[in-house]
Structure 1
Amino acid sequence: MPTTTSWKLTSLLIFFTFFSCSFSYSFTIINNCPHTIWPGTLSGCPKELQLLGGDQNQRVVGCRSACEAFKTDKYCCSGAFANPNTCQPSYYSTIFKKACPRAYSYAFDDGTSTFTCKANEYDIVFCPNSNGYTLYIISLKFD
């Protein structure tokens, strides 16, 4: 069920991946506005990127980015890799890109993943089911 909220906001970037579980995950985008997302099915997260949680941290509840998992300049596009010439898609970012082709998968993934809209009401869709994945929607209204 979509969640609707009102904000004064000029830009928003959300990036996360959920895996099959029987529980929900709540998070706050900004301004203490809570939302709940129910994980669906998305396979293929490498073990080294898996985020464990749930009962005694035994369930895979998400897939971290390579930057978050390894904290290196190469995967975080920082230091010597802080420009589009040296920061290129990695093996890990291509996993996310394959699952959700229009999703932002690494720092300079602007060509296929940056969109602008003139409206003030949006549905944010996570992994559209046309790719065979569970559909997640958050409806937002910006005042």
Structure 2
Amino acid sequence: MNFEEKVESFRALAAERNMTFKESDTETHVTFLTRETTKSGAQPVMIIAFNKKTTDAELYAATVTHVPDYVEDLPILNALNEFNQEFKYFRCVLDSDRDVTLASTLDLDLGFSPEIILQHSFMMFQAADEVNEYMQKLYTQVQ
């Protein structure tokens, strides 16, 4: 299956499930974005990006939570390290804007299934909820 067929297959599955994504097409990626609210109140930007130059799909739950300036880095980094040990398929990172993001890369050479990509995104959304809930408690403990 070529790149265009993979993207079209994912697009068709999303339409079949009545899922609304903002789609963009750049030099390097075709990207599908949506923003939903988790049970704990996080509003991550959920991103599924098909890489045109490799066989990868990159998934993100961007800006799961913003770390307030009054919170020191060490407890946050320790919490993210714990999540990184717990999660098998996602990486938790703290970016330069002090936003926590989950990231994952799926190698589509190992087999392509739009259903698996969507399920992986759902699992990431659930993990984003868990991360946000824990971090909100951490913020109040260190105030």
* Length-normalised TM-score, structure 1: 0.29
Q: Judging by fraction of residues, say which structure has more strand.
A: 2
